[in-house]
């Protein structure tokens, strides 16, 4: 089976590809369809944006599509950046620019006031329907960047119960507890149940 991951982001694709590595699915990215344009994320929730991307890519390619939208909610910023996490410092902001803006806004705050949550909504869309699943990891924004692995806000996000940031963890260890892995693993369970149910119904028919 061929599915399209609705992202141009190589780092995100790498993580999703690792989650699906044991399934009989050949994952393609939007880079395999250079004529596809960017999908405008106009939703006000992670679920809305994930579905917008999956629906658009499915409609354009005719293939099943999976997508996610991820948000970092910082308590001291009243839940910001939220759905604007990837473009916190501007529409084309780099990872470093987004982190710099976040750190500037939290400057001087002690760890107890730097609590945050990373959340992902994963979506699947094909000709038969739509599925979504969510994953959330609570943690703290560190006072300085630590680690060189991962991407995005990983160098400044330390999940609860850990002494390391996501960027200080090897990919396999991050995958064991990341918000994206939780969301996509939950989606995989739904997909497995859906496919098994459909196959049973087809057999009975």
Residue 122 has pLDDT above 80, yes or no: yes
User: Residues 20-54: pLDDT tens digits?
Assistant: 887 888 999 999 998 888 888 899 999 999 999 99
Q: What is the pLDDT of residue 203?
A: 35
Give the separation between CA 106 and CA 114, rounded to whole angstroms: 7
CB 178 within 8 A of CB 137: yes
> HSE-up of 117 (CA within 13 Å, CB side)?
13
Residue 200 has pLDDT above 70, yes or no: no
Q: Which of 35, 68, 69, 154 is catalytic?
A: 69
The predicted-structure confidence for 71-103, as pLDDT tens digits, reads as follows 999 999 999 999 999 999 998 899 999 999 999
Specify the CATH number for the domain of residue 15: 3.90.950.10
**Whether pLDDT at 132 is above 90:** yes
Residue 92's CB is within 10 A of a number of other CB atoms, namely 7
Residue 196 has pLDDT above 70, yes or no: no
Please state the separation of Cα 194 from the chain's center in Å: 22
The two tokens of residue 148 are 């060189």
Secondary structure element (H or E) that encloses residue 70, with its range: strand 65-74
Cβ neighbours around 35 below 10 Å, total: 6
What is the model's pLDDT at position 197?
Answer: 53
**Which range is least confidently modeled, 8-22, 70-84, 134-148?**
8-22
69 in active site? yes
pLDDT of residue 201: 47
pLDDT of residue 76: 98
Q: 186, 157, 127, 172: which is closest to 1 by C-alpha?
A: 127
Count of domains in the chain?
1
Query: Domain range spanning residue 62?
Result: 2-204
Q: What is the pLDDT of residue 202?
A: 40
């Amino acid at each position: 089976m061929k599915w399209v991951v609705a992202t141009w982001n190589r780092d995100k694709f790498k993580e999703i590809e690792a989650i699906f590595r044991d399934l009989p699915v050949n994952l393609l990215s939007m880079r395999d369809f250079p004529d596809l344009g960017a999908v405008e994320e106009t939703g006000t929730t992670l679920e809305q944006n994930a579905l917008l991307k999956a629906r658009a890519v499915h409609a354009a390619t005719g293939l099943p599509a999976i997508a996610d939208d991820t948000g970092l909610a910082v308590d001291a910023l009243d839940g910001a950046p939220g759905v604007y996490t990837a473009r916190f410092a501007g529409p084309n902001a780099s990872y470093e620019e987004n982190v710099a803006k976040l750190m500037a806004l939290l400057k001087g705050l002690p760890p107890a006031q730097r609590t945050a949550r990373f959340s992902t909504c994963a979506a699947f869309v094909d000709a038969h329907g739509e599925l979504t699943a969510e994953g959330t990891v609570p943690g703290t924004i560190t006072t300085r960047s630590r680690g060189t692995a991962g991407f995005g806000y990983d160098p400044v996000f330390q999940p609860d119960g850990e002494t390391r940031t996501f960027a200080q963890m090897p990919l396999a260890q991050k995958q064991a507890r990341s918000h994206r892995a939780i969301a996509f693993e939950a989606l995989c369970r739904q997909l497995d149940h859906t496919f098994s149910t459909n196959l049973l119904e087809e057999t009975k028919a």
